[in-house]
Amino acid sequence: MATLAEPLVERYGKIVRIPPGPGRAIVSTDLHGHMEDFRRVVAAFERALTRGNAYLVFTGDLVHGPAYEKDSYPEHLGDYYEDETPLLMQSFVEVQKKHRGRVICLMGNHEHSHVGGPHTRKFHKTPSETEYFERKIGPKRTSEYQGLFRSFPLVCVAGKGVVITHGAPRVLDATFAEICAAEYGGHETKTIPQMLEVPILGELFWARAAGSLCVRRFLRRVEIEGQKNHIAIYGHDPVRRGWAREGAEQLCFSTSFALRNARKVYIELDLERVYPTVDELKLGREIRWLYPELGDQRKKK
C-alpha cells in the first residue's frame, strides 16, 4: 500500500515533476467528457496504488464532447458516447482531492479556452463549446473551474526522463524558467493560426509531431536535478490504431476521444525505469488497452 512518506509531485510554476523512484504513473490523453473511459483510467490508477506508489496524469482536454445522437454519430469519432463533461469535471475534482498530490491534469487547448485561449468550435459552433459548457454549469461552477484550470501545469517531467505534454512539444526557444512563468490569459481574440505563433502555449497544444532536434533540445531544457530526459509522450491528435511513434523521442497515443473502444490505450510508466527511446514503451507493459476484454475485436482486421 502507498504511504504518506512517498514523495508527492513537485511544482515549479507551470512545470510539475513526478520524482524518480519506486512507483508507477498512469497517463491518459484527451477524454472530452467520456465518463466510462475516465472511470477506467481512475480504476487503473487505483489498482496501481494497491501495489505501491502511484500517480495519475491527464494530458488535458478533459472537457467538451460531441453533440450527436447515436444514430447520426459520425464514423470518424470512433465508438458512440454521450458527452458528460459536467459529471467528469466533478469526478476529477473528487479524485484529485481523494488522492492529494498524486493526480495531475495538464492544460489542454480546450481548458485553455476557458481561461484566456481562443474559444474552441470543434463540437459547437455558435455559441462555441466554451460558452455552451459555461452556460450549462452556471456562473458559480464556471468560476470554480476557471480557478482549477489556471492551476493546471503545462509540462510534467516524470521518473527517469519521460516528459508529458498535451501535444507534441514543438518548443523552439523557451527556457525552463520561461515555461514555469508562462501566463494563460490574453489570447481570447486570436485565431488558431495566430495562436500557433505564440511561444510556449502555441508550441505545446496543437502539434502532432515535432522535429527530432527541436524535441531533443526541449527535453534537455526541462531536465531537473541532473536527471536526463529521453522521450516525450502526449495526445491531442487522435491516433486511430491507439498510438504512433515518431522517431526515437515521440509517442502520440489515444486513450479515448475519436477512437473505437478496442483501440484505446493508456500508458503505465515505471518511475524507476530508463526509457532511452519510445521503442522501450512496450505493448502489454507500458502501453495498456483501456478495454482489455475487447481482444476479439482487435484480432478481426
Residues 266-295, interacting with Mn ion (CB under 5 A): none
Establish if 109 lies at the interface with Mn ion (CB under 5 A).
Answer: yes
3-state SS, 86-136, equals: HHHHHHHHHHHHHCCCCEEECCCHHHHCCCCCCCCCCCCCCCCHHHHHHHH
Which of 17, 12, 5, 11 minimizes the C-alpha distance to 163? 17
Cβ neighbors of 261 (< 8 A, separation 6 or more) are 78, 79, 290, 291, 294, 297
Choosing from 23, 108, 118, 159, the residue that interacts with Mn ion (CB under 5 A) is 108
> Which is closer to Mn ion, CB of 20 or CB of 108?
108
Residues 172-201, interacting with Mn ion (CB under 5 A): none
Residue 30 CB, nearest approach to Mn ion (Å): 6
Residue 61 CB, nearest approach to Mn ion (Å): 4
> Which is closer to Mn ion, CB of 26 or CB of 207?
207
Residue 74 CB, nearest approach to Mn ion (Å): 18
Establish if 263 lies at the interface with Mn ion (CB under 5 A).
Answer: no
> Which is closer to Mn ion, CB of 19 or CB of 117?
117
Establish if 114 lies at the interface with Mn ion (CB under 5 A).
Answer: no
Choosing from 15, 55, 61, 209, the residue that interacts with Mn ion (CB under 5 A) is 61
> Which is closer to Mn ion, CB of 99 or CB of 124?
124
Residue 62 CB, nearest approach to Mn ion (Å): 10
Strand partners, 103: 56
Residue 249 CB, nearest approach to Mn ion (Å): 20
Other beta carbons within 10 Å of 76: 8
Chain length of the chain: 301
> Which is closer to Mn ion, CB of 257 or CB of 275?
257
Residue 108 CB, nearest approach to Mn ion (Å): 5
Q: What is the distance between the alpha carbons of residues 241 and 260, in angstroms, rounded to a whole number? A: 9
Q: What three-state secondary structure class fits 50? A: helix
Cell numbers linked to 225: 536535478
Establish if 203 lies at the interface with Mn ion (CB under 5 A).
Answer: no
Establish if 129 lies at the interface with Mn ion (CB under 5 A).
Answer: no
In a 13 Å sphere around the CA of 154, the CA atoms on its Cβ side amount to 28
Q: What three-state secondary structure class fits 211? A: coil
Q: Are 222 and 155 in contact (CB under 8 A)?
A: yes
In a 13 Å sphere around the CA of 91, the CA atoms on its Cβ side amount to 19
Residue 257 CB, nearest approach to Mn ion (Å): 9
Residue closest to Mn ion (Cβ): 236
Residue 268 CB, nearest approach to Mn ion (Å): 22
In terms of Cβ atoms closer than 10 Å to its own Cβ (0-12, 13-18, 19+), residue 150 is middle
Establish if 34 lies at the interface with Mn ion (CB under 5 A).
Answer: no
Q: Are 166 and 234 in contact (CB under 8 A)?
A: yes
Choosing from 236, 264, 265, 268, the residue that interacts with Mn ion (CB under 5 A) is 236
> Which is closer to Mn ion, CB of 53 or CB of 128?
128
> Which is closer to Mn ion, CB of 114 or CB of 236?
236
Q: What is the distance between the alpha carbons of residues 301 and 113, in angstroms, rounded to a whole number? A: 38
Could you list the residues that contact Mn ion (CB under 5 A)? 61, 108-109, 236
